[in-house]
Amino acid sequence: MPDQDKSPQLRVTAVCLGNICRSPIAEAVLRDRIEAAGLSEKVVVDSAGTGDWHLGHEADPRTHAILAQNGYSLTHSARQITAGWMGELDIILVMDSSNYLNVEALVRDSGFAPELYLIRSFDPDLAHFDNLSPELDVPDPYYDPEDGFARVLEMIERAADEFVAGLPARLNQ
């Protein structure tokens, strides 16, 4: 039997559509922030997609590039979230309202009740928006030829800072 004190108390999964752009960025940023807060022994972070077409693939090269440019590291292989995951998860942070609705259906089908949030609902400047408001979506940068990946990183960093700031209170419950 594993030592209870060394087991993670919270398992957090970031979810987007294909698990090659937004959710890997969120995974890297959250891991970085959790480590900086001294919580990596108590919180495990991973990511997944709602779709299956990128299973086993690396993150998009632009994901790796924007993360490396900003001092983050990521080892990644795309996975798909299923209802079977729900009994193992505590918190699911989704990137947009479509992902939210897809994961909400998985949660409902599973019989388990992990907490489900749009990641940007943790951005203090967006706290006044209702759940599933389009303003809370992290746009998919996959087809964005401009600076979509940089914008996604910035959005996720703001939300991750506030999310991680609230983790000690959750862990002490």
Is residue 13 classed as helix, strand or coil in its secondary structure?
strand
CA dihedral 88, 92, 95, 101 (to 10 degrees): 90
Is 108 one of the annotated active-site residues of the chain? no
Longest C-alpha distance within the chain, in Å?
Answer: 50
Is 16 one of the annotated active-site residues of the chain? yes
Q: How many CA atoms lie within 13 A of 173 on its CB side?
A: 7
Q: Of 16, 32, 33, 137, which residue is the catalytic one?
A: 16
CA pair distance 106, 98, nearest whole angstrom: 13
Q: Of 22, 33, 120, 158, which residue is the catalytic one?
A: 22
CA pair distance 111, 84, nearest whole angstrom: 10
Q: Of 33, 120, 140, 158, which residue is the catalytic one?
A: 140
Is 22 one of the annotated active-site residues of the chain? yes
Beta bridge partners of 12: 45, 91
Q: Do the beta carbons of residue 58 and residue 77 sit within 8 Å?
A: yes
Residues noted as catalytic: 16, 22, 140
